[in-house]
């Protein structure tokens, strides 16, 4: 009798384990690699950007005077960040000196982890170099220009991609309710891929394949199912892409999920881009590494392409989210176009909802395909 009870108990525990295990919601893969660092270094980057944001507010600098002339992904000694060059224009020399004072005091408060060096390039221009833990992170150009507030005759164009979609259907539906033309980039093998594709088509949103690719620190960082790896045979890469595009039916283009290792490999990216060219699809380089060859190679091969300019939500604090939105709009003002990538976070949804009126009044919101040239 005792052995029977023991066997029954063991079988019962096994049944209970499998029932609990199989009832769990599938776990989504991590978002982009640059989102995963919560180190002291990342904290310092956030402090710097908060200090700049507050200084611009104190200096009463209008948004039309803020330009992001360069945003370049960098990776050194285990640290990811976007090196950022900001151009700030004010109406007169007195306002320039006041703004420089605000920024200097704000950055001084962040010592010793943050240091900065300023130089007066000319009577109407000041250059400030900012370092976090010894790494060069921001270059701030401040200049006075009486005529800077003149608006361009043509509205700058912005495209916003929401990617890593497939694991939360309800939040996608809420993004679709925004009065904003978004591009939806969908993971191919997620539990809600089919439903999101269906609803996206129904509401006439641009769909993209969010193609998982090998990151630098695999397997510690896993891009999820269906990923491309640099050691794969070319035919296997082609077969996987074909299979994924059948899941994300009607996709007009592709951007990479992770891929800091894969997008450096010219031979393998040639295979990927060759498939996209045959299917008349565009490619947006998510730029998860500064060593990526994807954008340049796509241009060489004649594949319509563009670069991601800003990750909107690599830091979900309210100040950081606002700063990233300012960065996106500032880059669009500078170059005429900008592409922002966001993710299915509640706070990202709230950010976009708050900025819809401003974006639609000051910018032309277009699909990613419209900026892939």
Residue 141 pLDDT > 90: yes
Domain boundary among 144, 179, 213: 144
Q: For the residues 156-162, what does the mean pLDDT come to?
A: 98
Residue 17 lies in a domain: no
pLDDT in tens, 60-81: 898 888 888 878 888 888 888 8
For residues 140 and 68, the model is more confident at: 140
- What's the CATH code of the domain at 81? 3.30.460
Measured CA to CA in angstroms, residue 168 lies from 26, 27, 82, 146, 221 at distances of 10, 10, 28, 49, 21
Tell me whether residue 169 is in a domain: yes
Q: Are residues 164 and 129 in the same domain?
A: no
Q: What number is the average pLDDT over the span 176-191? A: 97
Residue 20 scores a pLDDT above 60: no
Residue range(s) defining the domain that contains residue 109: 35-144
Please say if the pLDDT value at position 304 is more than 60: yes
Specify whether 284 is located in the same domain as 182.
yes
- 107 and 161 in a single domain? The answer is no
The pLDDT of residue 147 is 43
Say whether 336 sits in a helix, a strand or coil: coil
Number of domains in the chain: 2
Give the SS3 label for residue 330.
helix
Integer Cα distance of 264 and 261 in angstroms: 6
pTM over 0.95: no
Q: Is residue 4 part of a domain?
A: no
Residues 347 and 221 in one domain: yes
Per-residue pLDDT for 143 more than 80?
A: yes
Non-local (6+) Cβ contacts of 286 within 8 A are 32, 163, 255, 256, 257, 259, 308, 341
Question: Do 232 and 136 reside in the same domain of the chain?
Answer: no
Cα–Cα distance between 363 and 342 in angstroms, integer?
18
In a domain, residue 177? The reply is: yes
- 8 A C-beta contact, residue 254 and residue 284: yes
30: pLDDT confidence band, cut at 50, 70 and 90?
low
- One domain, residues 111 and 175: no
Residues 223 and 351 in one domain: yes
Please report the pLDDT score of residue 72 as a whole number: 83
Q: What is the mean pLDDT of residues 104-129?
A: 94
Same domain, 291 and 344: yes
Q: Are residues 136 and 175 in the same domain?
A: no
HSE of 314, CA atoms in CB hemisphere, 13 A? 27
44 and 131 co-located in one domain: yes
Q: Which residue in the block uniquely carries the two structure tokens 């007066």?
A: 120
The residue among 144, 177, 206 that closes a domain is 144
Q: Is residue 22 part of a domain?
A: no
Question: Residue 103's pLDDT is what?
Answer: 97
pLDDT over 50 at 148, yes or no = no
pLDDT computed for residue 332 by the predictor: 94
Q: For residues 354 and 311, give the distance between their C-alpha atoms in angstroms, rounded to a whole number.
A: 17
> Domain for residue 126, yes or no?
yes
Q: What is the pLDDT of residues 273-282, one digit of tens each?
A: 999 999 999 9
Residue 263 lies in a domain: yes
115 and 217 fall within a common domain: no
Q: What is the CATH number of the domain that holds 335?
A: 3.20.20.370
Residue 120 has what DSSP assignment?
E
Confidence label for 19 from pLDDT (cuts 50, 70 and 90): very low
Q: What's residue 15's pLDDT?
A: 39
In-domain check, residue 238: yes
Domain match, 190 and 229 both: yes
Task: Indicate the residue among 144, 168, 190 that finishes a domain.
Answer: 144
pLDDT digits (tens, 9 = 90+) for 230-250: 999 999 999 999 999 999 999
| pLDDT score of 46 | 87
Picking from 26, 345, 31, the residue whose alpha carbon sits closest to that of residue 191 is 26
The pLDDT score that the predictor gives to residue 79 is 84
**Average pLDDT for the chain:** 89
**Pair of tokens at residue 94:** 């007195």
């Amino acid at each position: 009798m005792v052995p029977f009870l023991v066997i029954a108990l063991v079988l019962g525990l096994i049944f209970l384990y499998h029932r609990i295990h199989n009832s769990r919601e599938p776990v989504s893969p991590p978002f982009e690699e640059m989102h995963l660092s919560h180190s002291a270094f990342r904290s310092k980057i956030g402090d710097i950007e908060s200090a700049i944001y507050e200084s611009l507010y104190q200096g009463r600098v209008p948004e039309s005077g803020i330009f992001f002339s360069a945003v370049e992904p960098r990776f050194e000694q285990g640290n990811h960040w976007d090196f950022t060059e900001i151009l700030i224009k004010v109406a007169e020399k007195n306002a320039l000196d006041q703004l420089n004072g605000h920024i200097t005091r704000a950055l001084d408060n962040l010592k010793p982890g943050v240091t900065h060096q300023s130089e007066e390039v000319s009577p109407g221009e000041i250059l400030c170099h900012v370092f976090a833990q010894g790494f060069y992170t921001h270059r701030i150009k401040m200049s006075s220009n009486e005529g800077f507030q003149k608006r361009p005759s043509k509205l700058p164009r912005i495209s916003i991609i929401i990617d890593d979609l497939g694991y939360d259907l309800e939040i996608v539906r809420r993004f679709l309710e925004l009065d904003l033309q978004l591009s939806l980039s969908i993971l191919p093998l997620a539990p809600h891929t089919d439903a999101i594709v269906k609803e996206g088509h129904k509401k006439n949103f641009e769909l993209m394949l969010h193609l998982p690719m090998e990151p630098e620190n695999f397997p510690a960082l896993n891009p999820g199912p269906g990923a491309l790896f640099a050691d794969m045979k070319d035919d296997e890469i082609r077969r996987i892409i074909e299979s994924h595009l059948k899941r994300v039916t009607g996709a007009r283009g592709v951007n990479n999920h992770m891929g800091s290792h894969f997008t450096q490999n010219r031979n393998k990216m040639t295979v990927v881009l060759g498939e996209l060219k045959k299917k008349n699809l565009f490619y947006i380089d998510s730029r998860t590494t500064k060593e990526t060859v994807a954008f340049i190679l796509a241009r060489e091969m004649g594949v319509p392409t563009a670069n991601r300019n800003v990750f909107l939500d690599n830091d979900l604090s309210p100040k950081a989210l606002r700063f990233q939105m300012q960065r996106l709009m500032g880059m669009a003002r500078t170059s005429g176009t900008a592409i922002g990538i966001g993710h299915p976070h509640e706070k990202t949804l709230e950010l976009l909802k708050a900025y819809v009126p401003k974006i639609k009044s000051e910018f032309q919101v277009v699909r990613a395909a419209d900026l892939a040239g």
